[in-house]
Amino acid sequence: MIRSFLRLASSLRNRMILIFLAITIVPFILFSAYAHTKSVEGIQQANATFSMSYLEQSKINLEAYLAKLNDQMNELIGDKKLQDLLEQPPASSQDEVSASVDLLNIVYQKKKQMDALQLRVYPLNSEAYPTYLRALEVTTSTRNEDWFQNAANSTLPIWHLSVDGGPNRGPLLSYVKTFTSLHNRTPRGLVVADLADNHFSRFFSPTKRLQGQKFLIVDETGKIVYDSAGSEWTGEQLPSPKLLAMRNVRKEGVETLSIYDEKNLIAFVRMDSLPWTIVSLTPMHALTEPITAMQRLLIFFLIAYMLCAVGVVIYLTRNFTQPVFQLVRLMRKLEEGDFSMLIPHQNRKDEIGWLYRGFGSIVRKIEDLILQSTRAERTKRELEFQVLSHQINPHFLYNTLESIRWKAENHGRNDIGEMVSALGNLLRLSLNQGKDITTVGREVEQVKAYVQIEQARIGMPLRVLYFFDEEMLDMTFMRLLLQPLVENAIQHSIRGNFEKGKVILSGRVEEGDLVIDISDNGKGIPEEVLKELNDTAGNRKMAGRSGVGLRNVNERLKIYFGPDYQLRIETQEGKGTKITIRHPILPPGGEERTTPERGADQEVS
C-alpha cells in the first residue's frame, strides 16, 4: 500500500492534486469538525450553567412553598377546637352529626387559606365519625390502606403518590402528617394535603424550554414523583442507575448520560428539607439543533468546494501538467538521440509556452551544433563575445540614469528626477567600484539614498535620524552593512505605522572600535529569527527578508573580523529593536589588508 502511494505521488500531476486537496479540502473539513465540536461544547456549557442556576432557584422556591404548607398544616393541628372534637368520640348520633359539621367547617376554613388541591383530616377512630367520612366521600376501609397505616405508625410526615387519583385521572401527591393531643402524645388523627401537577409545574416553567426538555422530582427510593412532561414517567423508577448513584455522592452536578438509548445533558440538585432530587433532562439533539443548519451549510460548501477543486484540478491537468508530461516525453526522445520528433507549436504566452519554445530552440541549436561541429570553436568565441558585449557597463548605466533625470526635470517632473538621482547614487555607492571597503560617510549616504527612494515609493515621509561623530565619517568601513539593517527596520518593524515609527542611526568610537546603533520603535524581531541567527544550519533554512538582511550582515562581520564582532540585538515585542554593529578601526587603505582568507580561517576555527 505504501509503495502504491509512493508511485502515485511520484507523478507531478498526482502531487499537484494531492497538494491541492490538502490545502483546500482537508483544512476545511478539520475546521468544520473543530467548529462543530466547539459549538456543541459551548452550548452544553451554557445550558448546564443555566440549568444549574434554574434548578437552584426552583429548589429554593419549592422548599419555601413546602415549608409554608407544613406551617399551615401545623396551625390546623394546633387548633384547640379541632383537638377538642377529636379528643372524645361523640356520645350519640346527634353529637356525631354536630361534630362532623364542626370538623368540616374547620377544614373548609383552613383550606381557603392553603395553596393545595384538597385538605383532609382523618380521625384515627374513624368508625366513630361515619357522617364525617361520608362527607369526605371515603369509607372506614381507608384506614386499612398501606399509606394510612404507614402514616399512623410513623412520627414523621410521609408523602403518598397516587398515579391516577388527581384531576382528570392525573397523578396526586399527598403530604400526610400524624398529629397527637396537645396535652399528651396520644395519636388523634392524620392531616392530608393533596397536591396536583399544577402545584409543582409553576416552579418548573422556564420562559424558553428546549424541545424535549423535562424536569423531574425523584424521591429517596428513586421513584419519580413529578414529571413536567405530562407526567410521562410519574410513578416509575428513574431509568438511570448511574444518576441515582451520583446523587448519593454529590449534592449537585451535571453529566451527559443515556436514558432509553437517548443521550441527555442531565443536571441535578438535592433538596435540603426533603430527601428529594430535582433533575433537569435535556436531549442532546435539542441542544445541537441550532447548529444543524450550520452543518447543512458546511456540507453544501464542502460539496461546492470539492466540485471547484475537481474543476481546478482538471483545468491544471489539461493546461499545465499534461503539456509538461508531453514535453518530458519529447526530452526523453532527445536523450535517446531522436531528433526527428515533431515539437508542437505553442502560442501560449505563459511559462508553458516559454518551455516549449525554449525546448524547440534548444533542439534546433543542438542540431546546428552537431551539423557545425567543425565550427564549434568559432561559435564558442562568438558566444563569449556576445556574453561580454551584453555586460552592463556601470558608467553607461549612470549616464543613462542621468539622462533620464535630466529629461524628467526638463519636463517639470522633479519628483521623478530626484528618485532617479537617488537610485543612481544608491547604485554608485553599492557598487563602490567593486571594492568591499568604503567609509562610514559613504555608507550613511547610501542609507539616505535608500530612504529617499523608499519615501518616494510609499508616498509619505520616513523618520530616520542620524547622529554620528564627525571624526568617524571618514573612517574605513565595510560596505553594505547599514542599508540592509535600515531596510529590515523599515520593511518589517515600523511598517504599517510610519506616522509614529522612527529609525535612529548613531555612531561613536568606543574602545578602539567603531560602534553604530540602529534603533527603532517598531514591532521587534521574532524570537525564531533570533534563535536561528547564529545557527549555521538554521541560517540556510531562514526565509523572509527579516532574516536575510540580519544573517547577511552578521555572517560578513564574523567572516571578516571574527565572532567577537557579530551583531548584538536587543529586542522586545511591540517596543522596538536595537542592533549594535561593532567594527574594528582600520587604517586608510584597509581594503588591501583585510582579505577573505582571514575570515575564512576564523570561520574554520
**601 pLDDT above the threshold of 90:** no
Q: How many CB atoms lie within 10 A of CB 107?
A: 20
Angstrom distance (rounded) from CA 349 to CA 319: 12
Span 420-424, average pLDDT? 69
Predicted confidence band of residue 224 (pLDDT cuts 50, 70, 90): very high
Per residue in 531-569, pLDDT (tens digit) is: 777 664 444 444 444 566 787 788 878 878 888 888 999
Q: Which amino acid is at 44?
A: Q
Residue 596 has pLDDT above 50, yes or no: no
Q: How far apart (Å, rounded) are the C-alpha atoms in residues 38 and 36? A: 6
Q: What is the mean pLDDT of residues 466-471?
A: 91
Report pLDDT for 593. Answer: 37
Q: Among candidates 551, 546, 515, 510, which has minimal Cα distance to 534?
A: 551
Model pLDDT, residue 307: 82
CA separation for the pair 602, 566 (Å, rounded): 13
To 5 degrees, how large is the angle CA 421–CA 423–CA 424? Answer: 65
pLDDT of residue 5: 53
Contacts of 476 (CB under 8 A, 6+ apart): 437, 438, 439, 585, 586, 587, 588, 589, 590, 591
Highest mean pLDDT out of 382-391, 397-406, 411-420, 441-450: 441-450
Sketch out the chain's domains with CATH numbers: 44-302 (3.30.450.20), 461-604 (3.30.565.10)
First and final C-alpha spacing in the chain: 49
Question: 278-287, 312-321, 528-537 — which is least confidently predicted?
Answer: 528-537
pLDDT bracket for residue 584 (50, 70, 90): very high
Can you give the pLDDT at residue 12? 62
**pLDDT attached to residue 467:** 95
Q: Which long-range contacts (CB under 8 A, 24 or more apart) does 247-252 make?
A: 247/218, 247/277, 252/52, 252/55, 252/56
At 65, is the pLDDT very low, low, confident or very high (cuts 50, 70, 90)?
A: very high
| Most confident among 106-110, 387-391, 546-550 (mean pLDDT) | 106-110
Does residue 453 register a pLDDT over 70? yes
Higher pLDDT, 372 or 248: 248
pLDDT at 306: 78
pLDDT of residue 494: 86
Residue 505 pLDDT: 95
Cα–Cα distance for residue pair 172/198, rounded to 1 Å: 10
Written as one string, the DSSP assignment of 579-592 is EEEEEE---TTHHH
516, pLDDT greater than 90: yes
Place 599 in a pLDDT band, splitting at 50, 70 and 90: very low
SS3 114: coil
Q: What per-residue confidence (pLDDT) applies to 393?
A: 44
Q: Is the per-residue pLDDT at 11 higher than 80?
A: no
Q: Is 480 left (phi over 0), alpha (psi -120 to 50) or beta?
A: left
- Can you tell me the mean pLDDT for 87-110? 87
Query: What per-residue confidence (pLDDT) applies to 47?
Result: 80
pLDDT score of 429: 60
Residues whose CB falls within 8 Å of the CB of residue 471, separated by 6 or more in sequence, listed in order:
509
Three cell numbers, residue 246: 451520583
Mean predicted lDDT score pLDDT of the chain: 79
Report, as an integer, the average pLDDT of 447-474. Answer: 88
CA–CA distance, 536 with 561 (Å, rounded to integer):
17
Sign of CA dihedral 510, 513, 519, 524: negative
pLDDT band at residue 180, thresholds of 50, 70 and 90?
confident
The most confident of 34-48, 74-88, 399-413, by mean pLDDT: 74-88
> pLDDT-based confidence at 387, cuts 50/70/90?
very low
**pLDDT for the residue 175:** 92
Q: Read off the pTM.
A: 0.48
User: Which of 403, 402, 409 lies closest to 427, judged by CA?
Assistant: 402
Mean pLDDT within 394-421: 63
